[in-house]
Structure 1
Amino acid sequence: MTATLVTQGLAGGYGHRTLFDSLDLTVAPGDVLGVVGANGAGKSTLLRLLAGRDAPQAGAVTLSPPDAFVGWLPQEHERVVGETVAEYVARRTGCAEATRAMDAAAAALGDPSLLAGSGVDPADAYSSALDRWLASGAADLEERLPVVLAELGLDLGGARPEQALMTSLSGGQAARVGLAALLLSRFDIVLLDEPTNDLDLDGLERLEAVVRGLRGGVVVISHDREFLARCVTRVLELDLAQGTNRVFGGGYDAYLEEREVARRHQREKYDEFAEKKADLVSRARNQREWSSQGVRNAMRKAPDNDKIRRKASSESSEKQAQKVRQMESRIARLEEVEEPRKEWQLQLTIGSAPRSGSVVSTLSSAVFRQGSFALGPVSLQVNAGERIGITGPNGAGKSTLLRALLGHQLPDEGTASLGASVHIGEIDQARALLAGSHPLATAFEALVPDMASGEVRTLLAKFGLKADHVNRPVDELSPGERTRAGLALLQARGVNLLVLDEPTNHLDLPAIEQLEQALESYDGTLVLVTHDRRMLATVRTDRRWHVEAGQVSEL
């Protein structure tokens, strides 16, 4: 079924706060709409409204036809305990919900009293539920699932999808199962929230092929610039700083160019208005001063009986006052141009420590085992000042390699050593350095004991973490907020070995660009693991390692 989604005057937010309003949008078959904006601009809120999960503050969302099958695939930071791979896929594809609805309709067909008072005919309810169940693909999902998982190269260790628990999978494996759910879905309109998180390069290419191949409309939130450039046909920008929203035609790169031109023109328009208004205000002020001075001079110099001179002076003062009124009228008639508000920016610098020894880390014929997986034997040396980029598929051993280089995991064979005077700054995939039930401020202060409490709160505020964040338990923060806290820690501590494992996960686009700028000016040793293709192209590296099947090769 082809379907179209339309919003009219849509407003969304939470509590008494409105994040966006007056949003008019049409998503037709074949559209791929990318939604961009800073964290907190309302991107995920918008998807919830489009999915019908929340009620808008104003406006409406309509579907044509009204029974179109809309699939909402939100970010899921925590996996459901006890949920199997098959149950996860059934839930994400809408098959589980469609099955429950059909079972309930079938029960009502056998016992009409279950629908008593509803005004719904049990036969009509069952027919509608059956149509939705068939449209969802639930009828043959069990047969299609193993085929798709095999195509994605997902090894469940011999367990069937009905047995394997989602909590037993690595982040990369879970991301592949999420991709499988998208491949298996039969939605008329798809709403995707950060679908690229935790996918490796192969997974990203598969996702791009799926999104480009969908016949229905797609609305996608993503921080992956290359994914956006390859997939989206239009871009919706939710501008929190300006309180505006705008749809840009063309792809992502065209949006960047058009946005830059629009912002420059808006700034130029405001500067022209401000300059003209300041000139008129200055001239009006001078006219008032001249008029006042003229009256005082006339009163002082003119004799009491010199009526002619007094009259002439009065007329001159009236003319000056008239000029003032004309100038004020011109000011009032100026078309007001609102000053563009400055966006909040992540002003990141990376604290530096004294230079380490010439050799930062060494692995010699080292083997590291993790369950049935083994990395190595590997022999590597990281020298001071080197900038190393690491790539490889999920499950290849990249995170194991980082633990080995940092001395977090001892080798089962061979040797590993960390150099002298090495001060490590690290952001791992799990953002585990800041975790637990303590408030963020307390946890942060424990890691930087030399900083006063006020200094800690000021620093966190610069990273967009204010009073309502610093007093919350760390585990209750979003992954994006924990990532920003980790970046703040890098600024507070002096480091000469910086290790970043998928640092762009959960960061918004402005923060990613700020991080890239900070890395450009950082002069210590850098080890960067990322699947963000634009970051790999932007950040300067002088060595590139590729990890696959437990082996490390230099490119």
Structure 2
Amino acid sequence: MFSLVSPRAVRPPNCLARACREARKWRGAESLAPSWERTTNTPTSYGRPPSFARAASSGTIASFKNLSFGHANTNLLENVDFSIEAGSKVTIMGQNGSGKSTIIKLLSKNLYPDEGQCIIGPGQTVACAQQTMPTASRDMTVKEFFTTQLNDESLLDHEIETKMAKALRDVVLEAPGDRIVKSFSGGQQARLLLAAALIQDPTILLMDEPTNNLDADGLYHLQSLIQMTDKTCVVISHDEDFLNAFTDQVLYLDMFSKKVETYWGDYWFVKEEIRKRIKKENAVNAQLKKKAQAKKDQANKFAGKGGGLRKVAKTMRGLAAEIEDQMQDVRREDYTLSEFTVPFSAPSGSPSGKMMRIEQVSAYNRSAKMSEPVDLGRGSRVQVTGPNGVGKTTFLEMIVDRSAPGVMIDDEADIGYYRQDFSNLDFDSTPLQCLEEVSSHRHTNEQIRKTAGRFFLGNRIMRQKVVTLSEGQKGLLSLACLCLQEPSILIMDEPTNHINFRHLPALAYAVNNFKGPVLLVSHDQHFVSSVGVNTTIDMGKVLNGKA
């Protein structure tokens, strides 16, 4: 159905690309719609598509030309070339820290290349839905936040409010203009960030991990938005099913060659093509290595003999070097996190093994008793559920602070907390300093660095400030911190949000094998089912008196 375009291949004509996108809109809308909305065979029956304007024109509207960029004394992109067509749905693939978000920031002009060009076509406008809410925006009201995004002093109050209302409708969120941004849940803030991009009415919409913190309803609306709009969308996400719902072009960023390759097709098709290509390259390398070694063996055989045979040996070594030059760099993009465990520290005050008891839930000045209390002891796996905005993160924070009413925690229990926004990390410190602090002198420098290495935090990264790390690298650092902390209780708030999908089996293994209790918030149902959750607390039902 689709064909691969390598850097040397010919891509399909524009009409084919557009036809593929139209087919995906119809197919995607039907497969995406939940059973209660699947009433007819027309796309419009699956919810109102946002009323977006059509892209200004067809053809290339954005491109990189021989672009290079470095950060923190490290080259991320080297002589990169690619182009993006109007109306296309583009996914950026690559490992944590490879530079995916850097491409987004270059396209949005938040960063500028060291060499080469980032070209945005005439008449094109760009807006970006960021990964996380900027610190400076968290204390703003909703209206102040949107006003800064519009950045147009000529707009009157009623014009701003009209634009706000439309953007909030498109992301299906009720947000009074006088409400403070930080009072919204993580999922609601994700919708605010998307609305902040939409209110600018761009022709090119950039989205960096837009599914983070979204519940099932939010994810459905986001997929519908991308499928049905004629805007050009460029997306980074670790949610493969989400990406496959709309992708028709993939920019594959190889963090070792620092190049970008362009593929055409849906996400699963492209992923399989990349796997085949890597396999073929490695097979070719194996053959060349064998030939090179044969030439070296011949050279060694003739080198010890006199006369003209020494010249033959020299020639053989030259041929071996030429063959080795033909070998392509071995791709390591499929490196995955090895299985690991989080050491458990048993509290001395819990001989029975019970470390926590939850009798009521609380959030946003609301509190309600549960019909049945939940005890957490060794091996307990408890998931806290509820719609975006119900207060799941707030409830977890109160438990960690030991301020949640109706929640009893063993005084000797040490709580390990994986925060979804990583705000428990000191962004002005280095990863090494963060790990040393959480270790509290229980580990040698060698042990700390060995633990860091298991999470791909090498010497260069260990010397950077945390603020310079990608969100995925911050996630890996947080996991390394938990390993050195050796907690009694593990509390995890959306741990899969920023972690590369290749690493999720190792994360699930760690949660499964933690000897203490785990309290978890996650919208990733596959991950939840793989970690053996045995109890669920539905905060929405409890707070509404239904559980």
* 1:353 aligns to 2:344 (yes or no): yes
Distance 1:517 1:25, change over 3 A: farther
Identity %: 24
From the superposition, tell whether residues 286 and 533 of structure 1 become closer, same or farther in structure 2 (CA, over 3 Å). same
The equivalences for 1:1-400 within 5 A come to 1-3=55-57, 4-14=60-70, 17-64=74-121, 66-75=122-131, 76-80=133-137, 83-92=140-149, 95-96=150-151, 99-100=152-153, 103=154, 140-146=159-165, 149=168, 154-156=173-175, 160-161=176-177, 163-289=178-304, 291-292=305-306, 318=308, 320=309, 324=313, 327-328=316-317, 330-331=319-320, 334=323, 336-340=326-330, 342=332, 346-347=337-338, 349-353=340-344, 359-361=353-355, 363=357, 366-378=359-371, 379-399=373-393
* 1:155/1:357 CA distance change after superposition, 3 Å: farther
Displacement of 1:142: 1.9
Match of 2:451 in 1: 459
Counterpart position of 1:106? none
Report the Cα distance in structure 2 between the residues aligned to 1:443 and 1:322, rounded to whole angstroms.
58
Q: Given that residues 90 and 233 in structure 2 are in contact (C-alpha distance below 8 angstroms), is that contact kept between their aligned partners in structure 1?
A: yes
1:447 and 2:438 equivalent?
Answer: yes
In the alignment, the residues of structure 1 paired with residue 492 and residue 377 of structure 2 have an alpha-carbon distance, to the nearest angstrom, of 17
Deviates more, 1:470-479 or 1:213-222: 470-479
* Residue 278 of structure 1: how far off its partner (Å): 0.8
Change (3 A) 1:519 1:246: farther
Distance change (3 Å), C-alpha of 1:360 and 1:205? farther
Q: 2:475 aligns with which of 463, 480, 483?
A: 483
**One-letter amino acid of the structure 2 residue matched with residue 14 of structure 1:** G
Structure 1 residue 204: Cα displacement: 1.7
> How far apart are the structure 2 equivalents of 1:253 and 1:504?
20
Equivalent residue letter for 1:331: A
For structure 1, the residue ranges without an aligned partner over 5 or more in a row are: 104-132, 293-316
Aligned CA distance change for structure 1 residues 454 and 333 (closer, same or farther; 3 Å): closer
- Separation of aligned partners in 2, 1:494 and 1:241: 34
Cα root mean square deviation, aligned: 3.8
How is 1:397-436 mapped onto 2 (pairs within 5 angstroms)? 397-399=391-393, 402=396, 408-411=402-405, 415-418=406-409, 424-435=415-426
Choose from 490, 498, 506 the match for 2:490: 498
8 A contact 2:253–2:260 mirrored in 1: yes
Q: 1:17 to 1:39 in 2, by over 3 A?
A: same
Partners of 2:361 and 2:369 within 8 A in 1:
yes
Instruction: Tell me what 2:29 maps to.
Output: none
Between 1:416-425 and 1:233-242, the stretch displaced more is: 416-425
1 CA distance for matches of 2:357 and 2:515?
Answer: 23
Distance 1:227 1:138 in 2: 37
Listed one character per residue, the Cα deviations across residues 445-466 of structure 1 (whole Å, up to 9, x for unaligned) are 3432212345434533543445
- Structure 1 CA distance for aligned equivalents of residues 379 and 459 of structure 2: 38
5+ long unaligned stretches in structure 2: 1-54
Counterpart contact for 1:38–1:509, Cα < 8 Å: no
| Cα drift, residue 218 of structure 1 | 1.0
Counterpart CA distance in 1 for 2:190 and 2:436 is 34
- 1:490-548 Cα offsets, whole Å, 9 max, x none, are 222434643211112333444445434544555654433212355345x3324362624
Aligned CA distance change for structure 1 residues 497 and 35 (closer, same or farther; 3 Å): same
- Report how far residue 487 of structure 1 moved: 0.8
What SS does the aligned partner of 2:491 have?
strand
SS of the residue corresponding to residue 523 of structure 2 reads coil
Contact map agreement 2:251 2:261 (CA 8 A) in 1: yes
Deviation for aligned residue 1:273: 1.0
Give the drift of 1:240.
Answer: 0.9
Cα distance, 1:173 vs structure 2: 2.8
Which deviations, in whole Å up to 9, do the C-alpha atoms of 1:465-508 show, x marking residues without a partner? Answer: 45666567767766544433321122224346432111123334
CA contact (8 A) 1:498 1:527 kept: yes
Residues 472 and 286 from structure 1, CA distance in 2 versus in 1: closer, same or farther, beyond 3 angstroms? closer
Deviation at 1:371? Answer: 4.1
Question: Structure 1: which amino acid aligns with 2:206?
Answer: L
Query: Counterparts of 1:498 and 1:82 in 2: how far apart (Å)?
Result: 30
Amino acid at match of 2:70: Y
Change (3 A) 1:529 1:369: closer
Which stretch shows the higher mean deviation, 81-90 or 265-274? 81-90
| Corresponding position of 1:547 | 538
Quick check: 1:10–1:57 contact (8 Å CA) kept in 2? no
Q: Is contact 2:379–2:518 with CA below 8 Å preserved after alignment? A: yes
Question: Is contact 1:12–1:46 with CA below 8 Å preserved after alignment?
Answer: no
Report SS of the residue matched to 2:326: coil
- What is the count of residue pairs matched by the alignment? 481
Q: Give 1:340 shift.
A: 0.7
For the residue of structure 1 that corresponds to 2:245, the secondary structure is helix
Asked if the contact 2:61–2:86 (Cα under 8 Å) also holds between the matched residues in 1, the reply is no
Contact 1:374 1:550 in 2 (8 A): no
The whole-number CA distance in structure 2 between the counterparts of 1:340 and 1:456 is 29
Q: Which amino acid aligns with 1:531?
A: H
CA distance in 2, matches of 1:48, 1:420: 46
